[in-house]
């Protein structure tokens, strides 16, 4: 089994140097487009090639992040980037968009793909789904505990990657729509404005109820390695080189020596932290102690002395690649051959030796000269000398051969190892036709459902709804489906049990919002309705859903109505057209962290409040809390503008029975709502 890989972020070439020279086994970086950190410096094509060559010379891998959701009109451009990555010799692609993943599997089947943490994978079923899709590695959600990681990792069919240091989002990655809804800057498309770092109160003492401290579980690297985790990932493609160097050095020390020196620990905290670090998710100690902000003291902690100290750690090349030399000197000429552990070899010819007048050339003099590999990533492991009797040559000639050898070896190691790419035809959008007139479905957080909703073609209720209530709903004439929670941290087995129970009652339909939920339902042979959490944003992602056996799906509410109308595929599609949209899915409930009893959630008393006094309700389901928008989405008077879909979904989370009836009345009669509502992103779209 390979050892644990230390994977470092790089937003610039200087960060690449800092990472590799500090001991990183691999770096991940982004291009100028289609990267989930679009505000980082990132790499153009020429810089990407330079980074790949430098890393490969140094024995490090390069993972290219193409981890944003893409639209139909962007698919051809992102495939051009993938083609260039294949030509350049990138070692793996990090991807989120399931449609794009499906395309890359066809056009570049030999290119390793790593499932981004944006895919929200936090169950064994989710990992299995991506394995079947052809991925070689899955980046797990950051909210998992040690025990949960162990359970997923046991006999896992793919490599697993775990974040070990860096910023923590309040929301589960891939399930945050806060920035998009508040300012049209989509975190799923690399443009997050980080509204979670602004003041929000939740009834407690904290004014920053959505701002978590940075994660650091570096001291647990040997534990992760023993679990079989393949890669320890450091967050921070927008951070400076000194941060990268300090984080990588700390990981290297922890893994190699089992501990981190006090000086390095202090430097790591100084270069960047938010009120220190937290290991709360990994250790299971979630709560108020996980929260923190970037204070004035944090900003000023890294003075010039700290940065200078850290810079010293990576200013020179790290000599870590062992090489063997063979020196041959005979009357007819001389040569030096260098060979690395991968059997790469280069031979340099030297000067014709002379007869020694006094001292002939010996092993010690040759070793002293040839072992001087400073300024390169190599160190001499072994030297074999074959020197003719009585011969000598200047040390300068030995030095020249050594330099030529190492330069030649670097050229070989840095040679592009391209991955085959075959052009394919991208599906044309706008080919889809409505199969039937639109109908509506209703999704409820509870079972307070009146007979007014009997004309809905389907109702969604929580999977843990008790059997008596489910039977009652079916007896009253409702077509019932159960919703699998988007957050299933630590409760995967419970969800399986509930699904088996509802199947025994005669309910065979589920609403699935992530790849793990899809896989669970597939194993049980249930009919799957895809939810918005799958983030379907293009025709190819719709086709992925069809291939998964999903019978219909809600598309992403980050799309405009015009974009939705042009989606291809043959599967029935729907949109959320009414209800408070979920802005965040978080395992660390803000209400609980402020000292509230969790029983207060899902009521009108559970909310967070922003600096302008606007309230955002909280709703708990499964293993997570949802932060809902401050106002409901309502399109009841815009039905004639909704095209290309077969159904609309009315969502009810915190509404009382009167509000449910009123919203249904608006929908049925195409009425214009009163003040206090939003059209969502259906007209303004996202960056």
**What is the per-residue DSSP string for 51-86?**
HHHHHHHTT-EEEEEE-S---GGGHHHHHHHHHHHH
What is the pLDDT confidence band of residue 40, given thresholds at 50, 70 and 90? low
Whether the pLDDT of residue 597 is over 60: the answer is no
Residue pLDDT, tens place only, 569-582: 999 999 999 999 99
What is the pLDDT confidence band of residue 97, given thresholds at 50, 70 and 90? very high
What is the rounded average pLDDT of the residues 439-446?
A: 96
Residue pLDDT, tens place only, 100-139: 999 999 999 999 999 999 999 999 999 999 999 999 999 9
Residue pLDDT, tens place only, 512-531: 999 999 999 999 999 999 99
What is the rounded average pLDDT of the residues 26-38?
A: 80
Residue pLDDT, tens place only, 635-662: 999 999 999 999 999 999 999 999 999 9
Q: What is the CA radius of gyration of the chain?
A: 29
Q: Which is more confident, 252 or 357? A: 252
Do the Cβ atoms of 500 and 463 come closer than 8 Å?
Answer: no
CA distances from 98 to 42, 75, 515 (A): 23, 12, 10
State the DSSP H helix or E strand holding residue 578, giving kind and residue range, or none if neither: strand 573-579
Do the Cβ atoms of 460 and 481 come closer than 8 Å?
Answer: yes
> Phi first, then psi: what are they for 444, rounded to 5°?
-120, 140
Whether the pLDDT of residue 234 is over 80: the answer is yes
Q: What is the pLDDT of residue 36?
A: 57
Q: What is the pLDDT of residue 606?
A: 86
Round the average pLDDT of the chain to a whole number and report it: 94
Task: Please state, as a whole number, how many other Cβ atoms lie within 10 Å of the Cβ of residue 376.
Answer: 20
Place of tokens 């994977």: 7
The DSSP code for 626 is: E
Q: Which residues contact 610 (CB under 8 A, 6 or more apart)?
A: 198, 199, 200, 616
DSSP strand pairing (333-340 vs 345-350) = antiparallel
State the DSSP H helix or E strand holding residue 250, giving kind and residue range, or none if neither: helix 241-257
Q: How many whole angstroms separate alpha carbon 46 and alpha carbon 234?
A: 25
Residue pLDDT, tens place only, 367-391: 999 999 999 999 999 999 999 999 9
CA distances from 7 to 24, 216, 280 (A): 6, 14, 22
What is the pLDDT confidence band of residue 355, given thresholds at 50, 70 and 90? very high
Partners of 621 in the β-ladder: 624
Q: How many whole angstroms separate alpha carbon 326 and alpha carbon 349?
A: 12
The DSSP code for 503 is: H
Place of tokens 């890294």: 302
Q: What is the pLDDT of residue 433?
A: 63
Do the Cβ atoms of 169 and 627 come closer than 8 Å?
Answer: no
Q: How many whole angstroms separate alpha carbon 647 and alpha carbon 642?
A: 10
What is the pLDDT confidence band of residue 592, given thresholds at 50, 70 and 90? confident
DSSP strand pairing (354-355 vs 391-392) = antiparallel
What is the pLDDT confidence band of residue 598, given thresholds at 50, 70 and 90? low
Cα-Cα end-to-end distance for the chain:
42
The DSSP code for 425 is: P
Closest CA to 426 of 53, 1, 83, 18: 83
- The full set of domain ranges for the chain reads 5-168+212-312, 321-413, 439-580+632-668
Closest CA to 211 of 611, 680, 632: 611
Q: How many whole angstroms separate alpha carbon 397 and alpha carbon 353?
A: 9
Q: Note the CATH number of domain 5-168+212-312.
A: 3.20.20.70
Closest CA to 244 of 19, 4, 6, 30: 19
Whether the pLDDT of residue 601 is over 80: the answer is no
Do the Cβ atoms of 637 and 673 come closer than 8 Å?
Answer: yes
Place of tokens 């493609």: 237
Q: Which is more confident, 433 or 202? A: 202
- Domain 439-580+632-668 maps to which CATH number in 3.20.20.70, 3.30.70.120, 3.40.50.150, 3.40.50.1100? 3.20.20.70
Q: How many whole angstroms separate alpha carbon 148 and alpha carbon 489?
A: 8
Q: What is the pLDDT of residue 603?
A: 53
Q: What is the pLDDT of residue 160?
A: 98
Q: What is the pLDDT of residue 32?
A: 79
Instruction: Specify the range with the lowest mean pLDDT, choosing from 345-349, 439-443, 499-503, 588-592.
Output: 588-592
Q: What is the dihedral of CA 239, 244, 247, 252, to 10 degrees?
A: 160
Q: What is the pLDDT of residue 446?
A: 93
Residue pLDDT, tens place only, 171-184: 999 999 999 999 99
What is the pLDDT confidence band of residue 427, given thresholds at 50, 70 and 90? confident
Which residue intervals of 303-389 are DSSP H helices?
304-312, 363-370
Largest interatomic CA distance in the chain: 110
Cβ burial of 126 (10 Å; 0-12, 13-18, 19+) is buried
Place of tokens 């007014």: 452
Do the Cβ atoms of 254 and 284 come closer than 8 Å?
Answer: no
Do the Cβ atoms of 126 and 519 come closer than 8 Å?
Answer: yes
Q: How many whole angstroms separate alpha carbon 98 and alpha carbon 540?
A: 8
Percentages helix, strand, coil for the chain (3-state, rounded to 5) are 35, 20, 40
Q: What is the pLDDT of residue 686?
A: 95
Residue pLDDT, tens place only, 477-497: 999 999 999 999 999 999 999
Q: Which residues contact 141 (CB under 8 A, 6 or more apart)?
A: 117, 120, 121, 122, 172, 173, 489
Do the Cβ atoms of 103 and 75 come closer than 8 Å?
Answer: yes
Partners of 212 in the β-ladder: 291
Q: Kindly provide the residue ranges of all beta strands, DSSP E only, lying in 101-145, ordered along the sequence.
A: 113-115, 137-139
Do the Cβ atoms of 356 and 329 come closer than 8 Å?
Answer: no
CA distances from 131 to 121, 127, 383 (A): 12, 6, 45
């Amino acid at each position: 089994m390979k050892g644990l890989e230390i994977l470092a972020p790089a937003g610039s070439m200087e960060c690449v140097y800092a990472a590799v020279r500090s001991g990183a086994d691999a770096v991940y970086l982004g291009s100028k487009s289609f990267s989930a950190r679009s505000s980082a410096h990132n790499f153009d094509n020429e810089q990407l090639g330079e980074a790949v060559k430098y890393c490969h010379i140094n024995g490090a891998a390069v993972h290219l992040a193409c981890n944003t959701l893409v639209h139909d009109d962007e698919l051809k451009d992102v495939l051009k980037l993938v083609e260039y990555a294949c030509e350049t010799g990138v070692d793996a692609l990090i991807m989120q968009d399931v449609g794009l993943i499906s395309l890359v599997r066809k056009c570049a089947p030999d290119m390793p793909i790593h499932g981004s943490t944006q895919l929200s994978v936090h169950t064994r079923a989710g990992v299995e789904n991506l394995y079947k899709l052809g991925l070689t590695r899955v980046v797990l959600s950051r909210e998992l505990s040690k025990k949960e990681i162990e359970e997923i990792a046991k006999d896992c069919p793919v490599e697993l990657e775990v974040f070990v240091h860096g910023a923590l989002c309040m929301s589960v990655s891939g399930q945050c729509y806060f920035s998009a809804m508040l300012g049209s800057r989509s975190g799923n498309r690399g443009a997050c404005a980080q509204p979670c770092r602004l003041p929000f109160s939740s009834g407690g003492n904290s004014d920053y109820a959505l701002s978590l401290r940075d994660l650091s579980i570096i001291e647990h690297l040997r534990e992760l390695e023993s679990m079989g985790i393949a890669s320890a990932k450091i967050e921070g493609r927008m951070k400076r080189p000194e941060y990268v160097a300090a984080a990588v050095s700390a990981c290297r020390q922890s893994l190699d020596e089992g501990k981190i020196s006090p000086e390095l620990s202090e430097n790591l905290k100084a270069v960047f932290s938010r009120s220190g670090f937290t290991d709360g998710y990994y250790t299971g100690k979630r709560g108020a102690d996980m929260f923190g902000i970037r204070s004035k003291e944090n900003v000023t902690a890294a003075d010039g002395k700290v940065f200078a100290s850290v810079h010293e750690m990576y200013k020179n090349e790290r000599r870590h690649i062992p090489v063997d030399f063979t020196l041959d000197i005979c009357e007819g000429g001389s040569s030096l051959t260098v060979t690395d552990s991968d059997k790469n070899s280069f031979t340099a010819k030297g000067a014709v030796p002379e007869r020694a007048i006094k001292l002939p050339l010996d092993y010690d003099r040759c070793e002293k000269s040839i072992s001087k590999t400073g300024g390169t990533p190599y160190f001499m492991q072994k030297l074999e000398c074959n020197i003719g009797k009585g011969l000598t040559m200047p040390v300068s000639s030995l030095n020249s051969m050594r330099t030529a050898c190492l330069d030649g070896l670097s050229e070989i190691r840095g040679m592009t190892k391209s991955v085959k790419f075959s052009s394919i035809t991208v599906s044309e959008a706008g080919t889809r036709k409505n199969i039937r007139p639109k109908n509506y479905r209703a999704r409820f957080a509870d079972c307070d459902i009146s007979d007014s909703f009997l004309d809905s073609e389907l109702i969604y209720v929580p999977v843990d709804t008790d059997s008596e209530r489910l039977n009652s709903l079916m007896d009253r004439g409702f077509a019932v489906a159960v919703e699998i929670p988007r957050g299933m941290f630590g409760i995967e087995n419970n969800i399986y049990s509930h699904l088996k129970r509802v199947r025994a009652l005669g309910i065979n339909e589920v609403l699935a919002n992530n790849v793990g939920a899809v896989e669970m339902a597939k194993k049980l042979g249930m009919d799957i309705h895809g939810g918005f959490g799958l983030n379907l944003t293009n025709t190819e992602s719709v086709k992925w859903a069809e291939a998964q056996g999903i019978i219909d799906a809600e598309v992403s509410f980050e799309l405009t109505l015009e974009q939705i109308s042009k989606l291809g595929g043959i599967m029935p599609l729907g949109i959320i057209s009414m209800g408070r949209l979920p802005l965040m899915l978080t395992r660390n409930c803000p209400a609980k962290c402020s000292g509230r009893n969790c029983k207060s959630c899902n009521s009108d008393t559970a909310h967070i409040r922003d600096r302008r006094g606007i309230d955002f309700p909280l709703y708990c389901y499964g293993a997570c809390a949802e932060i809902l928008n401050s106002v409901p989405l309502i399109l009841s008077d815009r039905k004639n503008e909704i095209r290309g879909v077969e159904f609309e979904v009315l969502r009810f989370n915190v509404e009382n029975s009167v509000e449910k009836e009123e919203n249904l009345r608006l929908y049925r009669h195409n009425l214009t709502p009163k003040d206090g509502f939003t059209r969502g992103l259906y007209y303004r779209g996202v960056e």
